[in-house]
Structure 1
Amino acid sequence: MPDRSASRVAGARGLAALRRLGAVSDLLFLYEAETRSIPHLREIADRLGLSVQAASHSFRSLRRRGLAEFRDGRYRPTVRGVDWLHAALGGVRDDLAERLDRLHIVRTTRAIAGAPVAQGEIVSLEIVDGILTARPGAGAGSRGRAQDPAGAGELVEVGEL
């Protein structure tokens, strides 16, 4: 009988594939079984922060789907289980890489000084006619601290955003 849940996880994209109840526990159980030689269910449960009952449930679910087995005194994935791990973890890796590429922390920026600004002065940042402008004072919205002095119309580096 084909493992439809494994194909759903492999076919779904990245983190969304793990939303199925138990998919994360199953994936982590199989990963631990593959990457560590842990003979006792309690050790796997402890590593995953699960109860022994929850770890046992994951194993039974994986075994029923043909993804895991208990052989030679240890829990291990089947060939299908390793394929499932690669598909699921590969999708998560790709999804996370894409999301991390879009996640940026802006620590400093440059703006045009709307009025003379002293080094260390608090400035408010706003877009004026499509240009990021820094004005002295902590107005509404974004603000930061001028990293250097600038005259009106000059470029100023703003940090501590």
Structure 2
Amino acid sequence: MTTEATAKRLAVGDTAPAFTLSDSEGNSVSLADFRGKKTIVYFYPAASTPGCTKQACDFRDSLESLQGLGYAVVGISPDQTTKLEKFASKEELNFPLLSDPEHTVSEAYGAWGEKKNYGRVYEGLIRSTIVVDEEGKVSLAQYNVRATGHVAKLRRDLGIDPK
């Protein structure tokens, strides 16, 4: 069921795949726009669902401190831009949400593949976070992450949490 493209996950040192997607306002956003910054690219299954809302709000509430440490944040889901616009507005999100309805970018990042839920096996978006360094290389790749507490864990894994 899983294709070879979806089976390959990124690893530290890989070149992050280039992308250009539409954001919640219909603007084109590219990974190249973040060149020279450390960028947290996180993939989430669906806007306005409980787990995805919790995760997005966690990034929203942590954005200022992350930016102070040189990180940008970008969220990517298969949702259409209209759904992302409502989600961003309702939750007052302060970072770009990008639409990947064909899941091309999700596949390139290894965030699309086989999932199991309540005994059902299907293909879908795997909640994942990839950190891209200033030169466009992967510095951290996490798959099957939990929505709750993810930003705190990410900070610890990046060595930017003093605790």
TM-score (norm 1): 0.29
Identify the structure with bigger relative contact order (alpha carbons < 8 Å, sequence gap 6+).
Answer: 2
Larger proportion of helix: 1
Larger proportion of strand: 2
